[in-house]
Chains A and B, each alone.
Chain A
């Protein structure tokens, strides 16, 4: 039945179809590396090159101790990768599933979850690398990982929100994913990933991270893993505010566009 506002019921229905989107997301990862000899190892190799390359240069430039800076950088990079992909790859969620959307009567939201699954798997591969880095520097703290779990839940909720936002808007405005990847290149340099937060504070540049939601999304995971305690309370409050805002926008947008998307593909 097609009711006036079908977005929320359809989204819940999609959630229950976890078998479908889980399988499709897993297959996407498999397909991505199907004809490559070492497959997902590339994720690790690319990450290692980035961490070593950028880590050496920036670590020396910024006069950072390597045993602190490299884990910090690794953690920041994998989380940042997830955030960027949630916008950029999220933009293709509906576009690349066009053949299915026009052919099967499934609620479209399964294609949003499908993207989230593959992004999460890539994130997890990165997490393995992070654990390795921490062990190497003898800074692995199991308790910290436990404290990072609320942050992971926040990141996933935000990721799904970004995918939703980007998927609906990109179906209408096809230039959006291209624009977003450019915007995120800029954001990368104003988010504390390659440099520690303390450096901004020292130079009175607090505003650069204080109003940057991506900083908080990164920090609620990075801080507990590196420091072994929960992040500061304000971080969680800021994340909660951001998530609320994000999801209000998503629900409004989804409700408005859900019935139109199929005609835009």
Chain B
């Protein structure tokens, strides 16, 4: 097996769907042409993306909302299969995407920590060893004994963040997860994040903060409408990006 890497060849992702499924079923039954009263949509979330990320690289993803940053990260995480083209990710992936979803509402904080840790690929023994540390970092205290449906939005994020950053990742994929929690936690989270990101053998993260990107990444990819607009040294890409949007403002 070859080394840890991410390779995309002509990778495209197309979302399709109908806004009016009932209408479509009716049309099928009545054998009417489908276009008459249904709205079908296709979104080219990613088009023909080519890239290779090798061991040791730290890559920033920038681009406007809807440019395809999250989709690209999910393709790299093997969550979204490509519609056409090839996507290969070698190595143990640690994704950190939507910190506020994927909880068992009626189960306690402890149970949710365990489930998330299992899904991140930790063995039960490792979880036992790290449980206390995760709990302390989350600062949730006795709330961990309560069902998570009693949690506030910030508390969900604290719990998820504490679990995700407790593991030792090979391929670390982050989607805008900086600034989790309240003022106290945000500072702590930033410090921990830095340490965590330093551990990853490959790091890819999307951000709207040029400082963060230039702090961490030698290489930056600028996405625009699902395509790679520019891929190169961080300072150059950030400069072109800023120039481009300054000009239009």
Contacts and interface: CB of A to CB of B under 8 A. Distances in A.
A79 to B, nearest CB: 28
Contacts of A103: 79, 95, 97-98, 101-102, 119
B95 A105 contact: yes
A123 interface: no
A105 B93 contact: yes
Interface in B164-183: none
Interface in A217-265: 259-260, 262-263
B177 to A, nearest CB: 12
Interface stretch (A16-24, A62-70, A154-162): A16-24
A106 B101 CA distance: 16
A103 B78 CA distance: 10
Interface residues of B, number: 33
Contacts of B78: 2, 105
B147 A1 contact: no
Given A1-B88, A102-B98, A34 B114 contact: no
A4 B143 CA distance: 45
Contacts of B80: 262-263
Interface of B: 15-16, 74, 77-82, 86-90, 93, 95, 97-98, 101-104, 106-107, 111, 114-115, 118-120, 123-124, 147
A238 B174 CA distance: 51
Nearest to B94: A105
A1 B89 contact: yes
Contact of A27 (B74, B79, B87, B111): B111
Given A20-B118, A262-B81, A102 B101 contact: yes
Contact of A104 (B111, B114, B119): B119
B82 A104 contact: no
Given A262-B80, A263-B80, A2 B87 contact: yes
Contacts of A106: 119
Given A1-B88, A2-B87, A27-B107, A105 B77 contact: yes
A34 B108 CA distance: 10
Nearest to B78: A105
A170 B88 CA distance: 29
B150 to A, nearest CB: 12
Contact of A2 (B82, B115, B120): B82
